[in-house]
Amino acid sequence: MIRVWVVCACLFGAAAGFAQTPVSTPPATAAPPVAAPATAAPPAAAAPAPAPKAWSSLSPQQQHLLQSHQGEWNSLPPDRQQSLAKGSERWLSMTPQQRASAQQRFSQWRAMPPEQRQVLRQRWQQYKSLPPERQQQVRESFNRFRQMPPERRNQLRQQWRQMTPEQRHHAVQPMHAPPAPRHVPR
Residue spans of the domains in the chain: they are 1-37+113-178
Over residues 72-92, mean pLDDT: 93
Q: What is the pLDDT of residue 129?
A: 94
Residue 171: CB partners within 8 Å, gap ≥ 6? Answer: 2, 3, 6, 7, 160, 163
**66, pLDDT greater than 80:** yes
Q: What is the pLDDT of residue 175?
A: 56
Spatial distance between the Cα atoms of 141 and 13, rounded to a whole number of angstroms: 12
Q: What is the pLDDT of residue 170?
A: 83
Residue 12: CB partners within 8 Å, gap ≥ 6? Answer: 127, 138, 139, 141, 142
**166, pLDDT greater than 50:** yes
Spatial distance between the Cα atoms of 66 and 115, rounded to a whole number of angstroms: 27
**139, pLDDT greater than 70:** yes
Q: What is the pLDDT of residue 183?
A: 55
Spatial distance between the Cα atoms of 106 and 118, rounded to a whole number of angstroms: 15
Claim: this prediction has a pTM higher than 0.85: no
The type of residue at 87 is G
Kindly report the number of other CB atoms within 10 A of residue 96's CB atom.
Answer: 7
Nearest to 37 by CA among 144, 127, 159: 127
Nearest to 140 by CA among 6, 10, 12: 12
Over residues 152-177, mean pLDDT: 83
Nearest to 168 by CA among 37, 23, 79, 64: 37
82/16: higher pLDDT: 82
Spatial distance between the Cα atoms of 83 and 49, rounded to a whole number of angstroms: 12
- For residue range 98-112, what is the model confidence (pLDDT) as tens digits? 999 999 999 999 999
Kindly report the number of other CB atoms within 10 A of residue 109's CB atom.
Answer: 18
**4, pLDDT greater than 80:** no
- For residue range 33-43, what is the model confidence (pLDDT) as tens digits? 333 334 444 45
